[in-house]
A and B are shown apart, each in its own frame.
Chain A
Amino acid sequence: MPSTAIPSPESPADGLAAVMALRRLADRLEDAQVERALRDGWTWSQVAEALGVTRQAVHKKHAKRLAGAGSSPRRRSV
């Protein structure tokens, strides 16, 4: 597959499924990158600004999850 060409999905069903799959991938990338940024000392406000959403939105989406995973910025890891 040539690297410059974006393959076109064969049908609308395939095209829409690709959008869904990209969303799934983007969600997972967001989880991983938010966690990484917070571990590196970023604040919620900085993460929010980088993602172009409100601090409340990013906090609501990730705080509980990350508290459970033990990587909340308030909890210092040794």
Chain B
Amino acid sequence: MFERFSRDARTVVKRAQEEAARLRSPTIDAEHLLLALAAPSSGPPAQVLADAGLDRDRLIAAFDAELESSLEAIGVPADLLEQAPPSGWRSPRWGQSAKLAMERSVRAAAARRDRRLLPGHLLLGVLRAEAGTVPRALERVGADPPGLAERMNAAL
């Protein structure tokens, strides 16, 4: 899948792996791709996100809030998370949400007849998720994934 990825897109993928490891996640998920895209060095995607007030800290806070409120919604106290903090070193494996996001980004590039897959296509792939943690967390902080995708598409 990675043949057409530009150097910057490969850097984003690598940074997503690092984000997952840093956050002690057993899997690399769409969230981690989004965090990697929010790093200034990803270029246009970081700009689109920053224009909407979405930097790394804001995104992490949104993901935490989403996790906590989803637990509370079924009566599970979210402070259980603090009793079992993520621990130890791991090398996360690719999760399905990130794989789907990358597949969508490949299709987005193909639909635009772009030969190289750029970080911007990765952001489109992440933002076009119809369900899951990323759209829920973004909506929670008042962001509008389709609007962001439109801006990213225009900036590609």
Q: Contacts A25-B84, A68-B88 known; A6 to B66 CB distance under 8 Å?
A: no
What does the 1/0 interface line of A1-31 toward B look like (CB < 8 Å)? 1000111011001101110111011011101
B-side contacts of A1, CB under 8 Å? 75
What does the 1/0 interface line of B83-97 toward A look like (CB < 8 Å)? 111111111000000
Asked if B41 CB lies within 8 Å of chain A CBs, one says: no
Q: Please determine whether A31 and B88 come into contact, CB atoms closer than 8 angstroms.
A: yes
A-side contacts of B154, CB under 8 Å? none
Interface size class of B (residues with CB under 8 A): 20 to 34
Q: Please determine whether B76 and A25 come into contact, CB atoms closer than 8 angstroms.
A: yes
Asked if B44 CB lies within 8 Å of chain A CBs, one says: no
A-B contact count (CB 8 A): 74
A40 to chain B, nearest CB (A): 16
B-side contacts of A71, CB under 8 Å? 88
Q: Please determine whether B84 and A31 come into contact, CB atoms closer than 8 angstroms.
A: yes
A-side contacts of B88, CB under 8 Å? 31, 35, 65-66, 68-69, 71
Interface size class of A (residues with CB under 8 A): 20 to 34
Q: Please determine whether B131 and A13 come into contact, CB atoms closer than 8 angstroms.
A: yes
Contact surface of A with B, Cβ cutoff 8 Å:
1, 5-7, 9-10, 13-14, 16-18, 20-22, 24-25, 27-29, 31-33, 35, 64-66, 68-69, 71
In the complex, 6 of the A-B residue pairs with CB atoms within 8 angstroms, ordered by the A residue number, are: A13-B131, A17-B73, A17-B133, A21-B67, A29-B84, A31-B84
